[in-house]
Amino acid sequence: MRAEWETELEAMRNRMITLREKLSEAIRARSNSKDFDFIATHRGMFSLLGLPKDMVDHLKTTNGIYMIGDSRINVAGIPEDRVGDLADALIAAIA
């Protein structure tokens, strides 16, 4: 059972890394800015975006993107096929 657990853990770790890299790259490609490159270097299931509360509220009401008030997102909850949509919404909110 331990080997199975380690395999699943490695798969989840790799998924988090991939999602972080994809989101960072998508934001950079859309904004031509490296402001969110830090997302790719973080580790774990959550990432703090550093957005003000009014932007967080805007993303919730306008785009259905949920994060806590300090702009911490659950990276594990990002659907891989919707990373571009998330990047688009973040760039639109910041602009």
* pLDDT of res. 23: 97
**Phi, psi at 74, each rounded to 5°:** -95, 100
The reported pLDDT for the residue numbered 71 is: 96
pLDDT at position 6, please?
96
pTM: 0.89
Whole-number pLDDT of residue 74: 95
pLDDT tens string, the chain, 95 residues long: the values are 999 999 999 999 999 999 999 999 999 999 999 999 999 999 989 999 999 999 999 999 999 999 999 999 999 999 999 999 999 999 999 88
How are the residues of the chain apportioned to helix, strand and coil, as percentages rounded to the nearest 5?
A: 65, 5, 25
Q: Which of 2, 8, 30, 82 is CA-nearest to residue 73? A: 82
- Considering its fold, how many domains does the chain have in total? 1
CA distance 48 to 69: 10
Burial class for 46, CB neighbours closer than 10 Å (0-12, 13-18, 19+): middle
Residue 77's domain is classified under what CATH number? 3.90.1150.10
Instruction: Write out the residue range of the structural domain in which residue 86 sits.
Output: 2-94
